[in-house]
Amino acid sequence: MIALVGSGEYLPGMESVDRYLLARLNGEARVVCLPTAAGTEGAERIAYWSDLGVSHFESLGARAEALPVVTRQDAQDPALAKRVSEANFVYLSGGRPDYLLGTLKDSPVWEAVQAVLARGGVLAGCSAGAMVQGAWIPGFPRRQPAFNLLPGAVVVPHYDELPPWMGSILHLWVRRSGCMLGIPGYTALVVDGDECRVVGRDRVTVWDGNGKQMYASEEVFPWAL
C-alpha cells in the first residue's frame, strides 16, 4: 500500500488520513519517519520534522521513531536499514525530491523500505516523498527517473497551490509518458494493488490519455496505465 500526500505531513489536518492507513496494518503499528528529503536544510529542520513525525504518530496510538537517514552514508548503514525493516509503516516527509532520490537510491535503507512494502506494510510520502514514488520527477530542462513504484506516473504535490493553467501545461509536458497525478494538501491518493482511493479533505486530479478526471474523498477507481 502506497500513500501519496500533497502536503501537510504530521499536522492535525492529516489525522484522518493517517488513521485510515494505520487501521490497515497487520498487527501493532510500528512507524519509521525518515526526514531524508530535508537533509540539506540543517540540523534544526531535520530535528523539527523528526520530532513532529514521532509526536504525531504517537498521538494516534502508534509506536514511532525517526531515523537519522540524512546522508548517502546513512542510507548505506546496515543498522539503520535493519531498524527500517522492522517497521510496518514508513513515512518519507518533504523537502528536495532530487536529494531524497539520490540519497536512498540503491541503498540498504531503500531495500528495507521495499521489504516493508513486500510484507504488506505501508509506504507514505508527502510532497518530495510522494514525487519520488512515480516514474520520474518533473524538472527543467530535464526530467529525472524516480523509483517507479507507479510506472508511467508523475506525481505533482501541492496541486491546490498551483494556478489553474499550470495543470494543463504540466499534463502536456508529461502525457507521452503516462499520466499525471495532482494531489492537494491534506489529501492522499492511496494505491493498493490495482485500486486507488482518495482519502482526506480534497479531490485528486488524474490526467491521462482520456483527459482529466477528478476524484473526491472516499472515491475508488482502478489503477491502470
Q: Domain boundaries in the chain?
A: 2-222
Buried b (16+ CB within 10 A) or exposed e, 109-123: bbebbbebeeeebbb
**Residue 141, preceding peptide bond in cis (omega within 30° of 0):** yes
Q: What is the mean pLDDT of residues 86-94?
A: 98
**Angle made by CA atoms 81, 82, 85, in degrees to the nearest 5:** 90
Whether 6 contacts 157, CB under 8 Å? yes
More confident residue, 173 or 161: 161
Q: What is the mean pLDDT of residues 131-144?
A: 84
The rounded percent of the chain whose pLDDT value lies above 70 is 93
Domain 2-222 homologous superfamily, CATH: Class I glutamine amidotransferase (GATase) domain (3.40.50.880)
CA–CA dist 207, 169 (Å, integer): 11
pLDDT of residue 221: 93
